[in-house]
Amino acid sequence: MKNETTRAVITGGTQGLGLAVARRLIAEGAEKIAICGRTAAKGESAVAELTELGAEVLYVQADLEKPEDATRSVTAAIDEFGTVNALVNCAGLTGRGGLLDTTVEMWDRQMAVNVRAPFLTMQAAVAHMKERAIPGSIVNIISMVAHCGQSYLTPYSTAKGGLSTLTKNVANAFRWDRIRCNGVLTGWMETPAEAEIQKRYHDAGDDWAEQAGKTLPMGKLVQPDELAGLVAYLVSPESGVITGSLIDYDQQIAGAYPE
Q: Is 59 helix (H, G, I), strand (E, B) or coil?
A: strand
CA dist 205 and 198 (Å) reads 8
> Choosing from 156, 201, 233, 249, which is the catalytic residue?
156
Nearest to 219 by CA among 209, 227, 206: 209
Active site residue 152: no
Q: What is the CA radius of gyration of the chain?
A: 18
Catalytically active residues, by annotation: 156
